[in-house]
Chains A and B, each alone.
Chain A
């Protein structure tokens, strides 16, 4: 398949390892990945902060960038973020309609219908649960609210995780409770958000797993920031980073992606 990567702004600028891992994973599975250069952001931050008018040009740019999926340029669009994919499905058309651009609304819905969160793409579109990954650690999984309740990804991510060789998946107590991120909520209601993430961190630490994963770096940014602050030693990483890791090209703790370059060096030395 030819798949367009909807990187998302946060991953592009701050957590490139999630997008790199997505690319390497999909290529390993035999697919061609394209990264449309015109993309920037889905508009979610502006919409959720009460600035829909400001979000309109952002939404327009996103929809135009990925509209070629409707003409067969790509077979699907994939985003490594539950909330950003959720925004394409549940917000973009609303923003367009509210500002009177009915045509954009129709287009936005059509593009969103071809846009998948990573676990949806792997399980529903590619029909996989075992992607041949190897990650020899205990991991706990935080479902993230938008993946859980907006996209309803259900057990897709945990099916993928359970199929990872040598991975021990530990149940997270109160898994479906919000971590307290909520975009600008984390700043506007900083103290309430802090109280929420403190409980999330406590639940993660109670599993004893050295790793916590999720399908969304925005929530993980909040969780890992609090994990680090409290000195738990628990490391957060994206689902894609685990799924991209294999025996031959294992996940690298510094780059956060399979150590392809390192493997090549090792191969050359042999």
Chain B
């Protein structure tokens, strides 16, 4: 006999929809304090990241020229960033020449206004969406909803996140924080046409979503997408996906609106040869993704007859001005760095308080918000804690298909966070403490004396130290203090 416990309710994660998708929630350590306590989340993440990690390693190891491909990808991206203004103007001209419209958006508000205006012009009250990070970044769905336009996410994981009222917690797998039982509950509670007796069997869940979405694909007049790349030379825009939902959105509606970050532009069509190898192998661990859709302006009688490309800056030119930080703009959103990150694996994506979580988010989000820049991110803003959310283990750098040196960028941005331009250096116990330590490390003589405090402590402290007052408690929370020596090495050496 079983006891009926009633309909489980869906609790959005986080509990409230944030106003700013790029910056929400408390600082990283405070957010991690909560997420680390969720054993279900830890188990989901561990299983998912380890599975995808192994798949990626298998399909990258089999290519003899994988390292050459990474070098090529890094080189093409660096070249594109160096010529960004010219490439963007070339892209604009190419798209216009093929019958497309190009719009320039300085920030999220401008992009939202442009897209909403285009949709309103068509008279449509609903749009279907291809999974896109950039429209998450600007909070487009919420903006459209405020204008009375219903946006439906058609990527399965993105649909789960949307129905639950969640924020995405992974770049590629936004619902990675939900398991199949939770997904069944979300569909049951929030998807009006969910079949009765829906089980948590993955094929059953996928079939329910498929039926739900099919009706929307067929009646939608407008689609909104992001872009994995746009070719300046030809005006070709492309989306890479796995489920075919993107292909439906990109071909069935009359009007297509694509929002893309300006860093997605590539110079030549043949550059795709490199990225179409790097991206699927790094992101889903597949040799080739199931659907690659490309379109060039408008083709009469075939596909959308109205095409709008919205080029979004939203802090990107500011990041471009930073010699080290700009490498974050090379990112192709594969999420390999998230899957190998030991910090992400434990805290999950929501701890980063941004649509861009993980190692890449830790360097991208603060830059989009203007970390260390005059008039930019407040040094006390929770997002300023992101560059510190890493043990600098370097697994992300090894995994990155375009060789973004994330550890170096993190170290650089830490300095920017502590020393913002146009502001007094951030005063803190850390600054004072490290300043004092630095004084003792300027010469061997000073350090000899500083080092001797350790043997003194060894005589004062018990051999086993398990608990220290703050800030030592930060260490002793999960570790003992090491047994301290009776003599420094230096003094042993001198006495030898």
- A-side interface residues toward B, CB under 8 Å? 7, 9, 11-17, 19-20, 23, 35-41, 43, 45-55, 57-58, 61, 65, 90-91, 94, 145-146, 148-150, 176-178, 180-198, 221-222, 224-226, 228-229
Q: What chain A residues lie within 8 Å of B464 (beta carbons)?
A: 228
CA distance A192 to B29 in the complex (A): 8
CA distance A11 to B32 in the complex (A): 31
**Given A40-B442, A50-B388, 15 new contacts (CB under 8 A):** A13-B489, A17-B485, A20-B492, A39-B444, A39-B447, A49-B414, A50-B416, A50-B418, A57-B441, A61-B444, A149-B398, A150-B394, A177-B342, A185-B390, A189-B32
- Tell me what chain B mostly uses at the interface: helix, strand, loop, or mixed: helix
CA distance A52 to B474 in the complex (A): 24
Q: Are A197 and B36 in touch, CB under 8 angstroms? A: no
Q: Are B478 and A149 in touch, CB under 8 angstroms? A: no
| Contacts A/B (CB < 8 Å), 5 sampled | A48-B414, A185-B392, A192-B29, A193-B478, A229-B479
- Closest Cβ of chain B to A114, distance in Å, is 19
Across the interface, name the chain B residue whose C-beta is closest to A198.
Answer: B478
CA distance A226 to B489 in the complex (A): 25
CA distance A53 to B487 in the complex (A): 31
Q: Are A197 and B478 in touch, CB under 8 angstroms? A: yes
CA distance A181 to B475 in the complex (A): 10
Q: What chain B residues lie within 8 Å of A47 (beta carbons)?
A: 411
Q: What chain B residues lie within 8 Å of A185 (beta carbons)?
A: 388, 390-392
Q: Are A14 and B346 in touch, CB under 8 angstroms? A: no
Chain B 427-457 per-residue mask, 1 if CB under 8 angstroms from chain A, else 0: 0001100110110111111111011011000
Q: Are B478 and A226 in touch, CB under 8 angstroms? A: yes
Q: What chain A residues lie within 8 Å of B444 (beta carbons)?
A: 36-40, 61, 65
Chain B 456-491 per-residue mask, 1 if CB under 8 angstroms from chain A, else 0: 000000001010000100110111111011011110
- Closest Cβ of chain A to B147, distance in Å, is 40
Q: What chain B residues lie within 8 Å of A16 (beta carbons)?
A: 485, 487-489, 492
CA distance A51 to B489 in the complex (A): 27
Q: What chain A residues lie within 8 Å of B215 (beta carbons)?
A: none
Q: Which 3 A-B pairs have the closest CB atoms?
A: A182-B391, A225-B479, A50-B414
Q: Given A187-B471, A189-B389, A192-B343, are A49 and B492 neighbors across the interface (CB < 8 Å)?
A: no
CA distance A21 to B408 in the complex (A): 32
Q: Are A61 and B442 in touch, CB under 8 angstroms? A: yes
The listed residue (B390, B437, B450) touching A182 by CB distance below 8 A is B390
CA distance A175 to B82 in the complex (A): 39
CA distance A39 to B493 in the complex (A): 14
Q: Are A191 and B477 in touch, CB under 8 angstroms? A: yes
Q: What chain A residues lie within 8 Å of B347 (beta carbons)?
A: 192
- Closest Cβ of chain B to A261, distance in Å, is 11
Q: Are B482 and A224 in touch, CB under 8 angstroms? A: yes
Q: Are B434 and A46 in touch, CB under 8 angstroms? A: yes
Q: Are B438 and A191 in touch, CB under 8 angstroms? A: no
Q: Is B415 an interface residue (CB 8 A)?
A: yes
CA distance A183 to B474 in the complex (A): 12
Q: Is B419 an interface residue (CB 8 A)?
A: yes
Q: Is B28 an interface residue (CB 8 A)?
A: yes
CA distance A61 to B149 in the complex (A): 64
Q: Given A45-B434, A190-B474, A190-B477, are A145 and B391 neighbors across the interface (CB < 8 Å)?
A: yes
CA distance A37 to B478 in the complex (A): 35
Q: What chain A residues lie within 8 Å of B485 (beta carbons)?
A: 14-17
Q: Is B191 an interface residue (CB 8 A)?
A: no
Chain B 402-423 per-residue mask, 1 if CB under 8 angstroms from chain A, else 0: 0000001001001111110000
Q: What chain B residues lie within 8 Å of A181 (beta carbons)?
A: 391
Q: What chain B residues lie within 8 Å of A195 (beta carbons)?
A: 36, 346
Q: Is B33 an interface residue (CB 8 A)?
A: yes
B342-401 contacts to A (CB < 8 Å) = 342-343, 346-347, 387-395, 397-398
CA distance A38 to B446 in the complex (A): 9
Q: Given A41-B447, A65-B444, A225-B481, are A52 and B415 neighbors across the interface (CB < 8 Å)?
A: yes
Q: Given A51-B431, A145-B391, A176-B395, are A57 and B438 neighbors across the interface (CB < 8 Å)?
A: yes
The listed residue (A15, A20, A51) touching B434 by CB distance below 8 A is A51
- Closest Cβ of chain B to A158, distance in Å, is 19
The listed residue (B392, B415, B474) touching A50 by CB distance below 8 A is B415
Q: Given A14-B485, A178-B393, A182-B391, are A46 and B438 neighbors across the interface (CB < 8 Å)?
A: yes
- Closest Cβ of chain B to A43, distance in Å, is 8
The listed residue (A15, A40, A57, A193) touching B391 by CB distance below 8 A is A193
Across the interface, name the chain B residue whose C-beta is closest to A41.
Answer: B441
Q: What chain B residues lie within 8 Å of A20 (beta carbons)?
A: 489, 492
Q: Are A40 and B435 in touch, CB under 8 angstroms? A: no
- Closest Cβ of chain B to A53, distance in Å, is 7
- Closest Cβ of chain A to B395, distance in Å, is 7
Q: What chain A residues lie within 8 Å of B417 (beta carbons)?
A: 50
The listed residue (A9, A145, A188) touching B447 by CB distance below 8 A is A9
CA distance A197 to B479 in the complex (A): 9
Q: Are B479 and A226 in touch, CB under 8 angstroms? A: yes
Q: Are B489 and A7 in touch, CB under 8 angstroms? A: yes
CA distance A94 to B387 in the complex (A): 18
Across the interface, name the chain B residue whose C-beta is closest to A257.
Answer: B492
Q: Are B435 and A49 in touch, CB under 8 angstroms? A: no
- Closest Cβ of chain A to B11, distance in Å, is 23
Q: Given A16-B485, A48-B414, are A61 and B441 neighbors across the interface (CB < 8 Å)?
A: yes
The listed residue (B36, B434, B440) touching A49 by CB distance below 8 A is B434
Q: What chain B residues lie within 8 Å of A13 (beta carbons)?
A: 450-451, 453-454, 488-489
- Closest Cβ of chain B to A73, distance in Å, is 16
CA distance A49 to B36 in the complex (A): 23
CA distance A177 to B389 in the complex (A): 16
- Closest Cβ of chain A to B203, distance in Å, is 32
Of B391, B414, B475, the most chain A CB neighbours within 10 A belong to: B391
Q: Are A222 and B479 in touch, CB under 8 angstroms? A: yes
CA distance A190 to B346 in the complex (A): 13
Across the interface, name the chain A residue whose C-beta is closest to B492.
Answer: A16
